[in-house]
Amino acid sequence: MAHPIKVPATKFSRNFAHYQDEAHSAGVIEVTSHDRVIGGYLSAKELENYQRLKSKEREVISFADFDDEMLADLKDTQWGVVSE
């Protein structure tokens, strides 16, 4: 992927159709306000990549979130044995 294009928010909103086409080749357009990134516009290809990566994220659960049944199942777990 090429480096993202940085565009001020006002210019992006006034020339949306142009930047919509630019996103196809650039992949990502960073929208800025006062030299600070406030958002971005992704090409369809980059959006698919983002969605694929998000689907592979893991959910983190702390022990405080476990109920009694989950804790009992965890205590009974044996390494290398497939659960039922």
Domains of the chain: 5-75 (3.40.1620)
The pLDDT tens digits of the residues spanning 35-59 come to 999 999 999 999 999 999 998 888 7
Q: What is the pLDDT of residue 81?
A: 75
Structure tokens at 9: 């928010």
Query: What pTM, to 2 d.p., does this model score?
Result: 0.64
pLDDT bin (cut points 50, 70, 90) of residue 12 is very high
- Kindly compute the dihedral angle of the four CA atoms of residues 48, 53, 55, 60, in this order, to the nearest 10 degrees: -160
- Is residue 2 over pLDDT 70? no
pLDDT bin (cut points 50, 70, 90) of residue 84 is low
Helices in the chain by DSSP H: which ranges? Answer: 9-14, 16-26, 44-55, 68-75
What DSSP state is assigned to residue 32? E
